[in-house]
Amino acid sequence: MPTEIALSVPITLITTALLAMLNLGISIYVGMRRGKTKVSLGDGGNEVMMQATRMHGNFAEYVPIPLIMMLAIEVSSGPAWLLHVIGDTLLLGRLLHAYGLHSAAGQTMGRGFGMLLTYISYLFAIGGCFYLAFR
């Protein structure tokens, strides 16, 4: 009789749900901008649409890998504090980045700090994966 193994990954689940909510919000924002600018595909050379689509694209480019690493760390019984550092830093970084891109097309403090926090979350996740793999 096969034995089922139940995995509990509440920190990754909550972080994923919060980031999914942010992604949904960004998606709605992009859709609203599409309606206002009448640009149904791409950015149409419109700066507002370029900002909105890059906000969404950047989110999609940077969020999946740390979430996968968080799942691996949590399944490997990694420390909860590390998962919170990765998840909280990633979420705050993505919020700041989206706000910064919403504020202006050029460099903003929100975008800069958002990317810095995103990179920090990556470094903690990478370190945690290597530590758990070789412990």
Domains located in the chain, CATH noted: 10-134 (1.20.120.550)
pLDDT computed for residue 6 by the predictor: 55
Cα 32 to chain centroid, rounded: 21
Cα 15 to chain centroid, rounded: 9
pLDDT above 60 (res 1):
no
The position carrying tokens 């504020």 is 103
The Cα 87–Cα 15 span in angstroms is 6
Tell me the pTM: 0.90
pLDDT digits (tens, 9 = 90+) for 30-87: 999 999 998 888 888 888 889 999 999 999 999 999 999 999 999 999 999 999 999 9
The Cα 126–Cα 120 span in angstroms is 10
